[in-house]
């Protein structure tokens, strides 16, 4: 199978690069007893502070300047769970990921937004067309090939988590239009899942976003909290459909957005800190047992919610906190005060460690 012109990787001259990718390279999910035993063993050795650090993934620009590399060293000493790379270049991304892994006692996650390839964040990485630019000729085979190629590029740079695919069902003229695969739930599911499988065929975690669906939202959650007023039937048949498909395929992680969802949480809490959205809908109704991440907590849509609120709602990973040190201290204080059950924190950390140990193989 070959990447098509409509969804193939673009080389330096803007031409599509064809790549043969066998479909049978997709691995089955393998939560092996060895990985589980390793995760459990590590968890038992961790202090409360180390466990609190594991759930936090701060954001850093992919730059090799002194201040960034100093922050990497500090995060490693604190046992932070990983980093999210922002804009920069590939050489710096590689240096940051290598340094963090070398200095960390527990393998860290290195995550990046690569919804349509690393060129979305790294200026010298190969570029792909926006998701909205994929025409009718885009195929599942081609998207799997794209995902596998991007996954291989990630592995070369030490990146093991892609904050994508976007599975939001959106019209082209909406806020999510450029980032969405379209307004047909089945088409969105087919292309997004193929891309996710391609990533995971290379050992890179895919993260479907933005649960429970950003497509119907009017507005940008970076600037405020959009509210979705669809009824439960509409949510189920449109917005939740791709997430159900993604979960049924056994893929790894889901990001929860900073969205008010009136039909699920009448109090309109941001979904990333809403127990009705995460515990009841995502975990309960949809049966998702994988890794749950917040969207970046510095976004205005979070309404200044904190890591403790996110963990209590059922989130495993708190992405891009505004102040990592303060959030670490807040988690520790909440456990010591009985506000957050340490057994609950352990469940989040165990799920994180299990994902990491599976990638040590």
Task: For 174-187, give one letter per residue: b (16+ CB within 10 A) or e.
Answer: bbbbebbbbeebeb
**210 close to 245: Cβ distance less than 8 angstroms:** no
Question: Sign (positive/negative) of CA torsion 287, 289, 294, 295?
Answer: negative
**111 beta partners:** 84, 161
Q: Which residues are catalytic?
A: 222, 295
Length of the chain: 361
At residue 343, φ and ψ (nearest 5 deg) are -65, -35
* Residue given tokens 């049978």 in the structure block: 24
- Name the H helices within the chain: 33-45, 48-54, 66-78, 90-103, 140-157, 185-201, 232-234, 240-248, 275, 307-313, 324-336, 342-358
């Amino acid at each position: 199978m070959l990447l098509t012109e409509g969804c193939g990787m673009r080389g330096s001259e803007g031409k599509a690069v064809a790549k043969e990718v066998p479909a049978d390279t997709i691995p089955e999910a393998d939560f092996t007893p060895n990985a589980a035993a390793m995760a459990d063993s590590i968890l038992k050795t961790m202090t409360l502070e180390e466990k609190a650090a594991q759930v936090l993934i701060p954001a850093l620009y992919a730059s090799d300047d002194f201040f960034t590399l100093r922050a990497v060293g500090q995060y490693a000493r604190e046992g932070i769970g990983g980093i999210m790379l922002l804009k920069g270049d590939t050489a710096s991304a590689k240096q940051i990921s290598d340094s963090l892994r070398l200095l960390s006692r527990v393998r860290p996650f290195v995550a990046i937004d690569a919804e349509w390839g690393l060129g979305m964040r790294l200026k010298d990485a190969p570029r792909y067309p926006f998701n909205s630019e994929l025409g009718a000729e885009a195929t599942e085979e081609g998207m799997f090939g794209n995902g596998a190629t991007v996954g291989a590029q990630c592995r070369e740079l030490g990146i093991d988590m892609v904050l994508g695919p976007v599975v939001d069902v959106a019209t082209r003229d909406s806020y999510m239009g450029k980032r969405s695969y379209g307004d047909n739930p089945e088409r969105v599911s087919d292309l997004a899942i193929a891309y996710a499988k391609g990533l995971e065929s290379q050992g890179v975690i895919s993260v479907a976003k933005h649960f429970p669906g950003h497509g119907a939202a009017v507005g940008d959650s970076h600037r405020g909290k959009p509210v979705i007023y669809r009824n439960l039937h509409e949510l189920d048949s449109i917005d939740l459909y791709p997430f159900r498909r993604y979960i049924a395929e056994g893929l790894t992680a889901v990001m929860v957005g900073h969205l008010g969802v009136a039909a699920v949480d009448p109090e309109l809490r941001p979904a990333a800190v809403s127990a009705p959205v995460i515990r009841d809908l995502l975990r309960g109704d949809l049966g998702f047992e994988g890794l749950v991440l917040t969207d970046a907590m510095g976004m205005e849509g979070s309404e200044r919610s904190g890591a403790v609120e996110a963990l209590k709602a059922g989130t495993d990973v708190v992405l891009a906190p505004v102040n990592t040190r303060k959030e670490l201290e807040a988690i520790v204080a909440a456990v010591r005060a009985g506000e957050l059950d340490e057994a609950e924190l352990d469940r989040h950390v165990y799920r994180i460690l299990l994902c990491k140990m599976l990638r040590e193989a």
